[in-house]
Amino acid sequence: MLDGIAPILSYRDDEGGLRFRREELLIRRRAEVDWARDELVGIHARRTARVAGGATAIAGAGCITFVAGLTYGAKALLDVTLFANEPPVTSILVATVLLVPLAMAIAWSVARLRMRTAIESAVQPTRDVRLDVARLEHAPPLALLAARVDSLELHSVWVPLVGWALVAPLSMHLMLAIALGWVGVGQLEQFDWWILVSLVLTGVGHAVLCTMAVRFARRLRAWRTSSSERAPSLWTPYGWTMLGACVPGIVLYCVPPLIAAVTSLFIPVTFGAVRRRVLAERAALASLVDGSNI
């Protein structure tokens, strides 16, 4: 009689022990996550916002190129007018500049909410006690959440840098043209011709800069502060962009390359700002995991 009851009692004792162990682990893991909550939410939100802003800028630049090629390109090459009222390309540029911070703000808010939800879900028990114990012991929620945030690093570098490379130069040219009175605030279509010329004469330079932005992001992702190698250079992208701007601009008395040389001084500034931000975020994530004694 007792022999038949023993396995049942043993199972119940094991179940009770596992539940106690799970509760113990949940208290510990919740404390770890609560300690790192604000940092995790903040880094995740900033990285997501940078990706959203860069993606918006890239989409806007694509629209500018598409509309310019479909309207002015067709008219110049084929003498065909596709639209009765050709949409001003400059208006798309202005809309893109205005949409970038809006997209970043929305993405930032959504990312904060999603990360908070992920944090709460990570430290909630499920119906499977054994699985919970194994998960909490061998896959700490803080480490998994930090890895999730860390996976955004590469995209949070190259996407905003590419978007900035495509939109920033023309935006600066437009502001200068308005400040000097060359373009009226209510007559932005007057700047269309400059955008069209820029697409033709500095298109290669923009393509090179985008390539260098991706290369910079990959090198920064692989680089560590403990490495004997130097951090990715801020001036190498500038130099290669200047070479790209010489094709075919150097044919026109070096005017486009000279303009690009001045305008592109934003490259080391923005690349440097992103590098500092990313390295600070990387150090913060590492300190969260190391400081939790996982």
Tell me the pLDDT of the chain (294 aa) as tens digits.
445 434 433 444 477 788 888 888 888 988 989 889 999 999 999 999 999 999 999 999 999 988 887 776 666 555 555 555 566 788 899 999 999 999 999 999 999 999 999 999 988 888 888 898 888 888 899 999 999 999 999 999 999 999 999 998 889 888 888 888 888 777 777 888 888 877 777 788 888 899 999 999 999 999 988 777 888 998 898 888 877 777 765 555 455 566 666 677 788 899 999 999 999 999 999 988 776 555
In a domain, 131, yes or no: no
> Are 108 and 45 spatial neighbours (Cβ–Cβ below 8 Å)?
yes
- Per the structure, the complete domain to which residue 89 belongs is given by 33-124+138-291
pTM here? 0.83
In a domain, 154, yes or no: yes
In a domain, 1, yes or no: no
* Residue 51 CB contacts under 8 Å (≥ 6 apart), including other chains: 107, 152, 155, 156, 159, 160
Of the chain, the end-to-end C-alpha distance in Å amounts to 46
Residue 32 C-alpha from the chain's centroid? 27
In a domain, 5, yes or no: no
Instruction: Work out how many domains the chain is built from and give that number.
Output: 1
In a domain, 11, yes or no: no
In a domain, 8, yes or no: no
In a domain, 129, yes or no: no
> Are 115 and 41 spatial neighbours (Cβ–Cβ below 8 Å)?
yes
